[in-house]
Amino acid sequence: MVGGFGGGYPGLYPEFYEFSCPQVNDIVMSVLEKAIGREPRMAASLLRLHFHDCFVQGCDASILLDDSATIVSEKKSGPNNNSIRGFDVIDEIKAKLEQACLQTVSCADILALSARGSTVLSGGPSWELPLGRRDSKTANLSGSNANIPPPNSTIQNLIALFNRQGLGEADLVALSGELLVNVVRSHTIGVARCVTFKQRLYNQYGNNQPDETLERNYYNGLKTYCPRSGGDNNIFPLDLASPIRFDNTYFELILWGKGLLNSDEVLLTENVGKTMELVTEYAKNEGIFFGQFAKSMVTMGNISPLTGSHGEIRKNCHWINN
């Protein structure tokens, strides 16, 4: 357990369900173990759900809402459409929790608990997780389009988007290694679609030339998966060495010129602030990366939660209560 980061937001604390639903984490973990055992990539998908939720009007499970008479779903935004997944796992967890503790555990907290559990089950760190978030009664499609970093982000854009959420450079670099940008799955345990990195292979600078920072053999391998025309949905591992394990190999690959997405490579090559120093440090010391990642996940999980009498505890994560 990488602990000691609890609290930090009024109304959230790790023991929130100690008396109302003491078995909450056991139920979450039992569902995750089966889901990730069947499909290891699900761990990264669940991490990414929490990230894409928190970056849009706070960690309030707005990302789970479907279209209705009053809701325009965030699932239709550019970063989310045909990309985010894992809703069935969240639904299974919610159903089991409703059986054990009727209308007690919020969908927002289920997302946060699933992100931590997925990290642990993939070999990553654990952390003391503040709980007590409530669920929103609204979604924000325009906020989803505006606030989630795209795969072609510059370092200035990434820093600005993270700063907007109260996150700094250390958070940006640590979280980039796991859940950043519009890809099929999260970084240290994921893959990307060809369309998200094709520009780097064929027209990085607007002159029909590749990104010169790509290591040559890696570049040649990428071209076989991602042709100049077609193949946009072909997938390629973000981390060739350990694609379904949570570790620091992502940062080692960046140092070797094998960062797949533009938003990966700019952490090193556009040496702004301390990003290059942090990439190097995390590549050399997995323990430091794990510690910062755990701390950053708590900070991200504290973005504008609904607490007290605000929001609601949804009966079904896809719909607001009647």
Catalytic residues: 52
116 in helix, strand or coil?
helix
Identity of the amino acid at 302: N
319 in helix, strand or coil?
strand
**Residues in contact with 278: Cβ distance below 8 Å, sequence separation at least 6, in sequence order:** 169, 170, 173, 174, 267
**Residues in contact with 110: Cβ distance below 8 Å, sequence separation at least 6, in sequence order:** 28, 61, 90, 93, 94, 97, 317
The b-or-e profile of 166-183 (16+ CB within 10 A means b, else e) is ebebbbbbbbbbbbbbbb
Identity of the amino acid at 266: V
